[in-house]
Amino acid sequence: MNPLITDGERTRLLANGQSRAAAGDFDPLPVVKLFTPDAHATWLLAALDPVDGDTAWGLCDVGIGMPELGTVRLSDLASIIGPLDRSILRDRYFQPTRTLSAYARLARLNGSILD
């Protein structure tokens, strides 16, 4: 298990990764929200590459006002330590209310991920 996601989230992310590979217009609900408690960065992850099991796809907001859909490696996120010596956390209370593309649209308008 990766310390950032639960086994159940990993299973759902991998299933979404398989669906994304099969259908180019795949627009799921995000599965997990990760964030830095001390650096204003947020990731809404929706799929995990079924081949390497480490490359996640979702909405990435590194806190500079330019959120974008893209990929990030979970192993890279797990190694990040913020300016106050805090690691990335999983939002245990996150409940998605819209598809990933809807989150992306709102994030681009606002300059950051809302919710």
Is 104 inside a domain boundary?
yes
How high is the pLDDT of residue 1?
A: 45
Is 33 inside a domain boundary?
yes
Is 63 inside a domain boundary?
yes
Domain tally, the chain = 1
How high is the pLDDT of residue 24?
A: 73
Strands 89-90 and 68-73: unpaired
Flag residues of the chain having pLDDT under 70: 1-2
How high is the pLDDT of residue 58?
A: 97
The residues near 107 (Cβ < 8 Å, ≥ 6 apart) are 59, 61, 67, 113, 114
Is 2 inside a domain boundary?
no
How high is the pLDDT of residue 2?
A: 58
Q: Whose CA is closest to 46, among 61, 34, 58, 33?
A: 58
How high is the pLDDT of residue 115?
A: 73
Is 39 inside a domain boundary?
yes
Is 50 inside a domain boundary?
yes
Which range of residues forms the domain containing residue 95? Answer: 7-110
